[in-house]
Structures are given as C-alpha cells and as structure tokens.
Chains A and B, each alone.
Chain A
Amino acid sequence: MSTGQSRKYKVIGTRPVRHDGVDKVTGRAKYGADVRLTGMLYAAMLRSPHAHARIKRIDTSKAAAVPGVRAVVTSADLPEQGDRIVELGEGAANMPHLSSNILARDKVLYRGHAVAAVAADNIHIAEEAVKLIQVEYEILPPEMDVVKAMRSGASILHDDLRTEFASPSSGDSGPTNVAKQYLFEKGDVAAGFSRSEVVVEREFDTATVHQGYIEPHNATALWNPDGKITVWMSTQGAFSARQQTAEVLRVPVSSVKVVPMEIGGGFGGKIPIYLPPVAAVLSRKSGRPVKLVMQRADVFEATGPTPGSHIRLKMGVSKDGKIQAAEAWMAFEAGAYPGSPVGMACMCVFACYDIPNGRIEGYDVCVNRPRTFAYRAPGSTHVAFAIESVIDEICQKIGIDPAEFRLKNGAREGTRRVDGPTFPRVGMVETVEAIKNSAHYRTPLTGKNRGRGIASGFWFNVGLKSSVTATVNNDGTVSLVEGSTDIGGTRTSIAMQLAETLGIAAEDVNPTVADTDSVGYTDITGGSRVTFATGIAAVEAAKEIQRQLVERAALLWDCDPKAACYVDGGVQGPDGKRIGFKELAEKLHLTGGAVIGNGTSSAAQQGGAFGTHCVDLEVDPDTGKVQILRYTIAQDAGTAIHPSYVEGQMQGGVVQGIGWALNEEYFYDEQGSMRNATFLDYRMPTTYDVPMIDTIIVEVPDPAHPYGVRGVGEVPICPPPAAIANAIRAAVGVRMRELPMSPPRLLAEILKAQTK
C-alpha cells in the first residue's frame, strides 16, 4: 500500500511492465557468462590456501608447458603502482592495495587471495594447469578477530600501516592493524548521562556476511594489438570499472571500453573489480580474448563481504522517555586492506534520533579476511542492531510503547546529527506513524513463544553524477541511452520520469544501458542513487527535447518560439494552436532533423531515507529456530516512481536483513579457512523462511528532486536484525546481542536463561 502522494502524475506512480521484462523471463538477456567471442580462451585462477603468508617464490613453468595453455600471469605482469590514491567517483582507491588484491604481490592476506592465472583453450586445461603452479609460502599467524587484531602484539598484516586521522598529537605508534580512527562529539555527554534516570549500556557483535548475489563475478577481455582494451563484465558501474581497470594496468582511461552485461545481483559487491585486469593481461600475452568466471567458493572467499563488527553502545534517558545522551564505540573488520564502512556506521548510528549529547568512536581494522566492500547501506545495519536493541530495552525499563518512544525522539527537519549537519525534510517520524497505524501493529499478537518487535533505520542515499541521451524517433517514441547499469528495474524508473516530463507513455520510451564509449560519464549503480540522479538527468534531457520541439512547432506555425510552450504532451501556440508529441515527431525530417536531448546530474544531493519495521515471530524453544510469522515495512520513498519496484526493493532488503539476522555468517577455522563457502552451507533465506512482506510506501517528497524521489534500495536492510532481536526478547525473554541469532546460538541463550 502507499500513502499516495504521487497520484497527481500521469506516469509516475503507475506500474508499467518493465522494458527488459521479456528478455529476462525468456532467458534471452545476455549476462557476462554468456559472452562468446571468436578464438576466446578460458582462464582459471590460483588462489592462496593460507590466510596469511609471505610469498617467497612462484614457479609457473610447469603450467606454461601444458599443451593448450596460452598464457600464465602473476602480479609481476601488472605494473607497479607506487604510492597512489585514485578518486573513483564514489570513494577513492589505494592503488597498491587494489592491485595486490587482484593479484597478490609479496604477501597473501586471506585464504582465496588470487596469486596467478592461466588462460587455455578450454576451462578444463586451465584448471588442470593452474594446479601445476608452485608457490613457496612462509606461513604467518592469521588475525581473524577484529578486537584481537587491535591489540599490541597482534600479527601485523601491513608493515607500513599507521593509524590515519587519529588526533594530531597521537604521534606514530608503529605498525598496526588499525587503519583509521573516527571520532564525533556533540554537546556535553557526561552532563547528559548525569541527567539521565535510566542508562543502558550493552555490547554487540555481528558476523561477516556476504551479499549473496546469485551471479558470480565475470569478465571477458580483449586487448587488441592497437592498445585498445574491451571488457565485457557484470558490474554496478561501467565507468568505475573502466577507471579501476585502466589505473591497475596504467593505461589511459580512453583505451579501455567496458561493456556492462546484465547483472545478476550486486548489492554493493560488484563495485570493486577483481577480474578485468587479469583477463586483460592474459589477453595481451595470448593475443586472444580471455574469459574469467568465478566459482561460488571464489565469490565467498575472495570478494568483498560486509564486515563483522564489535559495538559498545550506551544510552541515557529521562523517565519520560526523552534521550539525554548516547555514546557508541565500534570496530569494524576492514578485511585484508583498509576500507571498512565504519565511518558511515559512525554517522548512521544515532541518525534516527534527536540526540542532544553524543559521542561516537570508530575503528577500521585489518584482519585476514577478504577485503570488505559495500553491502546495502554499508555499516548502517550493524549499528541499527545495536541502538535499536538498546532502545527496546529502555522502552521495556521505563514502560513506554516503542513506537511512542521513536515518535518522541525521532529525527525531524532541523535535527542536528551527532556528526554535525542538520537534516532537511525527512520522513523518519512518518514511517513510525505508518507502522503505529498499521493493521499489523494494531492487531494483538497471541500465542506461546511469540513476540513482536519494531525497529527503525537510516541511510543517507547519495547523489553523484549521471548522464543520459534521449533521441526522438519519428514514430513518436524516444530512445533513451543511459550509463546506469540496471539492477532493480531502473531502465523503467528512469524512462517513466522522461515520459512524465514529455507527457508520453512509459511504453513509448526505449531505454538502453550503454557501454562507456556510448554515453556520458555515469557513476555507479549504488548508494540508492539511480532513480534519483539518473532520473534528474532524464528530466533534464526531456526539458531539452521540450525546448527543441517548441522551436519545431513554431517553425511549422511561422511564429515566434516565445509564443509557444510545451504543455501536457504537446506544443501549444498562438490562436489555440496545438500539436501533439507524436504528430510533431512525424514532422522531424521536415523541420530540421533529429531532436536529441542530453541530460546530466552532478550537484543534487539526497535528503536521506528512513524506514520502520514491525515483525511477529515464533521461537521453537526446543531448537532455537525462529519462524517469521508476519512482517511489515514502512519506508519513506519520497515519491514512488514505480511502486512495484519500490515494494520489491523494500521486500528484498527485508529478506536479506532476515538472513543477516538469523543465519548468515562466515565460519572460519583456526587457520583462517572459510568452512561454509557454498550456498548449501552458507544459509540464506528461502521462500520457506519468509512470509509475504507487507509494504507501506510513505511519501515525503525530497525537495532535491523534481518529482521528490528518494532512493529506496538500501535502508530496508537496516532494521530487520534489531526488529527480530526485539521480537525474540518479547517471545522468550532472551536478549540476543550477537548476529546471527541462529538456532544453536539462540538455544544456548534460552537454556542459559532457564538455568538461572
């Protein structure tokens, strides 16, 4: 259901069939694994069996001698990077780290770290040959735990790493695994706590969790003798992948073309690159196109999951339920190289609330796990688990309804965050009201071992840069070329905004996702930005088309263009003249040829997204298994362009959040080997685990977008672990503070509680 702000539009708010629907349901859509090129070779990677080791020697001679092997590469085939940091649009890349994550140089830093690759006539030869590569390792002790890795005496991953951005007076403390410190303060925290009548302080742990996209990473590369490199791949950002590839190979960015294939899920995990430079240097060596596709175990062991974390959170409130002070300390696993989302976690932890006095301290810590990367609202789910659990405990202590507490303390326009800025118009409170007024919340939950929990969450949403080109066809349709790879139905949500602006049907727009040589620079599909920012670019392109069509109509009417204007799908002129879009399109050749509108978006920034969730569940006290009975999500979508896709994002985020809450985790042994690197052992939710997720689309338009869009893709993953933990407490009286709340972990807590 929707609170229904978007009814004033003709196209926006409707639910047209997605433009790529037929290709997707018939299996004709082309994914990276479908790429076949004449003379193409197949490649396999050699990966480290150790979590932490020094590479003393690599001998590839036996592999190279295998009949059918056309090329073998190691890190020696990649250029030295020097001490370089490169801006990639959304964030920056430390080039020595990026390059050595693609092919290890002097050390391997996690099991699965790529060491070498072989290209051969077929995948079987490549896989056999790669086993013949001999690597001599000096095995080092691995650091797998984020808190232990911070201690003095810990095994050091990078001898040259020093803690960055610690206070200037802290000095050089020597080699460390702590890459970065974050600190934010607002008000007088000590005074705030002294005023508090109820104070709760708790510690939380969350496990390493993978995005779990179904399509593995892939790349096919052709390095032509003229120096031009073409890469076909699954990516969330063709331009980012182009730049990363060019920078790793140290070639001009213009010599690399990335062709984005359809993408079978990403959720943040397909922003970084792993394969294109390897496929490219294999292609350069062999003179043939080379295809690399990861196996599932490679995806788990060697691509970026979201980090595990340790969080300590303290909150003080007055008896009337008003927050007086809050404090958070957190350490996030960066994985093998610095770069966890702990900075964003620090900025999210208290964002849902008006906190008068606050302090937040965060640490980015290297451990011998794969380099972590973004996963839907990076860092926010971890901290939502902590703060929303503490708030639930406070509500229980002071006897206040948890929705009322959130209404009393919820962030509003003008609320100053602990990290500094104030919120523009946001919809946090509206999402709480939507849950409070929902049939779900108003229906009593009955039954033994059943409980209800609610929780809220926040994500920033980003703006960044987008480009589109729209061409009017003489049959009255528009060809729309965009640079945003389509993960969640954005071809359609962008086309709908163009259609709305031009006053034509969404079906009369033909959207295409283009390669990096065929459209203007566009940042990644991530940060919940595409329907917002690429939508703005489409609106700008439509306005340019409007302007040109007005000129064409004025030419036909022999009048001053200033006497005409574009209204409601056509041009109106003097004396009641009017010509519709289709009729005018038919006359393009007579009036001067093509009408093309270009649109860009670069400056607009989103106002942030909030969601509040309510869950009912039942705990089996004999096994610790949790069954989700009912789930409702209320989320501020600003304006829902295509409500079905908004609902899909909300439901998808919730399902992933349920998996994170109840089952998903990396199991490592003492040597740092992942023991559950398959979908059989890495337990993600199935249809048996989740009920239909009910959705309430709240529409508080974002003033930064012409139609009020807010990104919707990320914030729905934030509240589920906390909402479920709160419901478990209500069901069986056990407060879970470690994720996942899997049956053995929950059963142990239930048994512990029973023996007290």
Chain B
Amino acid sequence: MPRVFIPTNLRSLTQGLDQLEVGGSSVRAVIDQLESAHPGIREKLCDAQGNLRPGVSAVVNGSVAALGALQRVAPDAEIHFLPTIGGG
C-alpha cells in the first residue's frame, strides 16, 4: 500500500503518527482512506470539490504530482503533502 507521510501540523489528527500505509490508487483515494481512519484530515488537504487546496502539493516518489488529487499512485508509492513551489 502507498506510504503517506503526515504533515507535522496534522499529526495531532493521526495520534502523532508521522507515516501511515493507506490503500488507494490515486492521491484522492488515499486521502479518502486517510479521512476514514482520521477524520478531519481531508479538509486540511482538499477543498470542497476534493481537489488539493491552493498552496498544497502532493509529492509522489519525490516528484510534484502534476495531476494533483487525480494523480495515480503505485502500491509502493511514497506520498508527501508539501507547500506548492513557485519560482522566479
């Protein structure tokens, strides 16, 4: 199952756990699974439409997910939620 790294600010929602193995074949599905186990986490990551909130990026296996919540993830994927990167 994909391994999700919980943002430090949200670890109070996961009883202090910093990593979780969560089922799902897309970023959105993984977030849905997280929400089931740890209510309240989805609204911190997603807007009302289920898209990643502005300013939040999913990073899958070290690369920013170009498709955001729709990005497919492999069973051995490593997922992080980080601030969006914008350059000059």
Chain A contact residues, CB within 8 Å of chain B: 85, 87, 90-92, 165-169, 180-185, 211, 266-269, 271, 341, 343-344, 346-347, 374-378, 419-424, 459-463, 465, 526-529, 602-603, 605, 704, 711, 714
Contact = CB atoms under 8 A, between A and B. Distances in A.
A235 B8 CA distance: 37
Given A343-B55, A463-B64, A420 B5 contact: yes
B50 to A, nearest CB: 14
B55 A344 contact: no
B88 A268 contact: yes
A185 B12 CA distance: 13
Given A378-B88, A602-B66, 15 more contacts: A90-B86, A91-B84, A168-B9, A268-B87, A268-B88, A347-B82, A347-B83, A374-B87, A421-B82, A463-B64, A465-B66, A528-B87, A529-B87, A605-B63, A714-B88
Contacts of A459: 87
Contact of B85 (A85, A271, A344, A602): A344
A347 B62 CA distance: 13
B39 to A, nearest CB: 11
Nearest to B40: A168
Given A343-B55, A605-B66, A91 B12 contact: no
Contact of A605 (B12, B44, B64): B64
Contact of B88 (A169, A185, A343, A377): A377
A241 to B, nearest CB: 15
Contacts of A602: 66
26 contacts: A91-B86, A92-B84, A167-B9, A167-B12, A168-B10, A169-B12, A183-B7, A184-B8, A268-B88, A343-B84, A344-B85, A346-B83, A378-B87, A419-B80, A419-B82, A421-B78, A421-B80, A424-B62, A461-B87, A462-B64, A465-B66, A526-B87, A527-B87, A529-B87, A605-B64, A714-B88
B31 interface: no
Interface residues of B, number: 27
B13 interface: yes
Contacts of B55: 91-92, 180, 343
A527 to B, nearest CB: 3
Interface of B: 5, 7-10, 12-13, 18, 40, 44, 54-55, 59, 62-64, 66-67, 78, 80, 82-88
Nearest to A526: B87
A462 B87 contact: yes
B88 A421 contact: no
Contacts of B86: 90-91, 271, 341, 344, 374, 378, 462, 526-527
Contacts of A424: 62
B85 A460 contact: yes
Contacts of B78: 421-422
A103 to B, nearest CB: 23
A104 B35 CA distance: 40
Contacts of B80: 419-421
A183 B81 CA distance: 12
A319 B2 CA distance: 39
Contacts of B66: 463, 465, 602-603, 605
Contacts of A344: 83, 85-86
Contacts of A422: 62, 78
